[in-house]
Amino acid sequence: MKTYCFFLFFIALTFSVTAQNYPSRSNVLWVTEPDHSDWLYQVGEEAKVAISLFEFGVPADQVTVHYAVGPEMLQPDSEGTITLDQGKGNISLGTATAPGFRDCWLTATLHGQTYKHHVKVGFEPEKLKPYTAFPADFEAFWDQAKSEAAQTPMQIEKVFVPEYSSQTVDCYLVKLQAYKKGQHVYGYLTIPKKDGKFPVVFAPPGAGIKPMNPLKHMFYAESGVIRFDMEIHGIRPDLDKDTYQEISAAFGNRNNSYLVNGLDDKDRYYMKKVYLSCIRALDFLTTLPEWDGQNLIAQGGSQGGALALITTGLDDRITACAANHPALSDMAGYKAGRAGGYPHLFTNFDGMDTPEKLKTLAYYDVVNFAKLIDVPVFMTWGYNDNTCPPTTSYIVYNTLDTEKESYITPINEHWVSEKTRRVILEWIKSKLK
């Protein structure tokens, strides 16, 4: 097992101008520095953070900062104010009595405008364990589901997309029949435009209902790797943004979200189609004449990271998996009095805490698929992420009982830098057979 940690704050800033903590073109900059360089502490140990606030690059003197500190994703247990001396101050985050993370939220007002920032630190997170139990019939349930889905004939429509193709890459829009007859998913397939056989990367999408653009990951095909960026809802990914917003408003928000559709019954839950459609995508990808016949890698971030891990657990054709801050991980963790995984069913939705829903969640949670994985896994996550909190990324990583590597970038919120994207590809290449 290898672990890589990067703590160079100002270098990280250059990659994070769109991050929530560091908004682009702001006159104000927060810098928070835990007194442990790895942002990690022992349970019972006090954590302290040094704060600096700059306006126009100059320390903001005598500014009052309000702070609120508490367990990650839960209500604060302490708060107060400090006045910065020459733009600097120190705050105690207290300690934790059990493994996990504490968050410190900061608020300051300059010239009538409010500026916010937050920073998290961890307490023995390598000891975090899942709340979610492994159902006795978990493997039998999914074996039966895969067997039934495999009876659906695979129909393929593949159309060349010139606007996403180049002198070195061919791009195709693919439509696949999956799960049941008459149901489909889409994806963009990018293939190196040269002779040879190539590894394949299967890349499921992040959460939401939105258009897709394969250009962000075109460097995979440019580097000699076939990539399939998948759509999971059966909606053409080349529709305009306004149309997607209308569709999302119809079944993408709060209690109307696809993420809770049918949650009372494990056989009717919306995500059953999604998970089994990922298997159908592999059925298609392994028929490509350009595939090298050996290397089939799952890779994704957030919901895509979850689906990459889930597909790896479900299908032994996957040879390696790379996942960024996976969603759908220990989703019932709030029942243990700590942060649970995205989509935060117990805080963002109504009426989710029922025996029926909790039972279904166990069949769809990443931590249970992680227990089935026996190929190399690479994971990356940040500590300041409030969408897929580090508590749940650690829980998934701690659950894995296979060759694994982590690339931890504490300053990150729910994003990865361009540098990290390249690191992921390099790890993938290092695992090719």
Q: How far apart are CA 72 and CA 139, in angstroms?
A: 32
Close Cβ partners of 162 (under 8 Å, ≥ 6 residues apart): none
| Residue 302 annotated in active site | yes
Close Cβ partners of 131 (under 8 Å, ≥ 6 residues apart): 330, 332, 333, 335, 336, 340
Q: How far apart are CA 423 and CA 421, in angstroms?
A: 5
**Catalytic member of 329, 385, 393, 417:** 385
HSE of 346, CA atoms in CB hemisphere, 13 A: 20
User: Which residue is listed with tokens 């997170």?
Assistant: 125
Distances (CA, A) of 287 to 87, 102, 154, 292, 294: 61, 48, 11, 10, 12
Close Cβ partners of 8 (under 8 Å, ≥ 6 residues apart): none
Closest C-alpha among 273, 316, 280, 294 to residue 432: 294
**Catalytic member of 302, 393, 406, 417:** 302
| Residue 118 annotated in active site | no
Q: How far apart are CA 187 and CA 158, in angstroms?
A: 10
DSSP state of 239: S
Distances (CA, A) of 212 to 19, 190, 215, 305: 21, 13, 9, 16
Q: How far apart are CA 261 and CA 251, in angstroms?
A: 9
| Residue 385 annotated in active site | yes
**Catalytic member of 117, 217, 325, 414:** 414
The residues assigned a catalytic role are 302, 385, 414
